[in-house]
């Protein structure tokens, strides 16, 4: 019995050493890397004003709101000054819906969001040893298709993509990124023209940069999607590209060079709101309104405050 007990103890000791070694070499680096990721705590205040002389009724308002996004942002609390009739999800986007039976005078809605955002990019994903799980080809298929603004089946897009080649996927994505940076002049103005317009006219705003980058990737068989939100406290759009081993990785050719941002490194300034290039619920904006009777006057703005 004594010998058997000694053998069991030795066996448990070996098991403990193996388990500890696995933790030190596999798990601990990920924990350390996660702790070193830069975090920024924010308070976002979305204000919506609606005015009517009293002849407006059955007003429905749908507003885009942010949600948790692993490694990128954590929404800690959302407060509403006026209770929404529902909060719902559609294709990875989240919305708050409000309803007014009748509006006479001014109505205000404040949506206050407390969240933490984290730096996340290609380098961060690699350093954290992020492993993609749970994404199937069925989920990915739509991000390979041509659609409005991301016209990856257009002859001009196909021709441009055909001339850019590399055996390694990340190298290929970097070449597409550099093509965009070298050939498309960035313009500071609102609006959405689309990938083809940006390529033909050799200029585009942040939305057009995202559309064209996504279209070029899709034309090469690489899943890519348009992302809308805020960068440096202002409305912005960028691109996420799907890599088999890492999942969705963000890239932003429009602001390459901002605070040392580059192809594989992004500054910690991104708030994610939407993953749709064509959002039929709010027509590619941050909110939309429907009513009966007299057209109301609607305005809105978002203030973003850094918290200590």
Q: Is 116 exposed, middle or buried (0-12, 13-18, 19+ CB in 10 A)?
A: middle
Output the pLDDT for position 250: 98
Cα dist from 167 to 171, 172, 174, whole Å: 8, 7, 12
* pLDDT 10s digits, 119-128: 999 999 999 8
Which pLDDT value is given to residue 22?
A: 42
Over 60: is that where the pLDDT of 27 sits? no
Under 8 Å CB-to-CB from 241, ≥6 apart: which residues?
A: 173, 217, 222, 223, 224, 248, 249, 251
Q: Which residues contact 14 (CB under 8 A, 6 or more apart)?
A: none
Give 144's contacts (C-beta < 8 A, 6+ positions apart): 152, 218, 221, 222, 223
pLDDT at 304: 97
Specify the 3-state DSSP secondary structure of 101.
strand
Mean pLDDT of 265-283: 94
Cβ atoms of 280 and 138 within 8 Å: the answer is no
Cβ–Cβ contacts within 10 Å for residue 81, how many? 11
Higher-pLDDT residue of 112 and 129 is 112
* pTM, rounded to two decimals: 0.86
User: How many CB atoms are located within 10 Å of the residue 52 CB?
Assistant: 22
Task: Tell me if 161 sits within 8 A of 216, measured CB to CB.
Answer: yes
The residue written with tokens 């992004």 in the block is 266
Which structure tokens are listed for 148?
């409005």
Q: Which pair of tokens denotes residue 285?
A: 């904006």
Tens digit of pLDDT for each residue in 54-105?
A: 999 999 999 999 999 999 999 999 999 999 999 999 989 999 999 999 998 9
pLDDT value, residue 136: 61
pLDDT at position 23 is 41
Q: What is the pLDDT of residues 132-151, one digit of tens each?
A: 665 665 679 999 999 999 99
Question: In the chain, what percentage of residues exceed pLDDT 70?
Answer: 86
- pLDDT (0 to 100) of residue 190: 78
pLDDT digits 0-9 by tens, 183-226:
999 998 877 889 999 999 999 999 999 999 999 999 999 999 99
């Amino acid at each position: 019995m004594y010998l058997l007990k000694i053998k069991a103890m030795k066996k448990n000791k070996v098991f403990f050493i193996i388990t500890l070694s696995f933790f030190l070499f596999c798990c601990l680096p990920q924990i350390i890397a996660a702790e070193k990721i830069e975090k920024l705590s924010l308070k976002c205040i979305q204000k919506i004003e609606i005015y009517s002389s009293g002849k407006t009724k059955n007003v429905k308002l749908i507003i885009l709101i942010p949600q948790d996004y692993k490694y990128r942002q954590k929404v800690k609390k959302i407060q509403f000054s006026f209770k929404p009739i529902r909060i719902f999800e559609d294709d990875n986007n989240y919305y708050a819906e409000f309803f007014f039976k009748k509006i006479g005078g001014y109505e205000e809605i404040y949506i206050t969001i407390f969240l933490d955002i984290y730096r996340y990019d290609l380098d961060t994903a690699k350093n954290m040893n992020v492993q993609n799980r749970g994404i199937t080809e069925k989920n990915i298929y739509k991000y390979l298709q041509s659609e409005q603004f991301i016209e990856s089946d257009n002859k001009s897009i196909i021709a441009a993509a055909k001339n850019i080649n590399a055996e390694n996927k990340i190298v290929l994505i970097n070449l597409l990124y550099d093509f965009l940076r070298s050939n498309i002049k960035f313009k500071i103005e609102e609006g959405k023209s689309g990938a083809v317009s940006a390529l033909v006219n050799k200029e585009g705003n942040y939305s057009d940069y995202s559309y064209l980058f996504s279209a070029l990737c899709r034309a090469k068989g690489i899943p890519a999607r348009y992302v809308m939100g805020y960068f440096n406290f202002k409305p912005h759009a960028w691109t996420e590209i799907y890599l088999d081993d890492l999942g969705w990785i963000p890239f932003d050719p429009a602001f390459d060079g901002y605070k040392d941002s580059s192809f594989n490194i992004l500054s910690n300034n991104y708030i994610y709101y939407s993953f749709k290039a064509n959002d039929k619920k709010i027509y590619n904006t941050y909110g939309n309104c429907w009513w009966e009777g007299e057209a109301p006057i609607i305005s809105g703005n978002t203030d973003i405050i850094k918290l200590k």
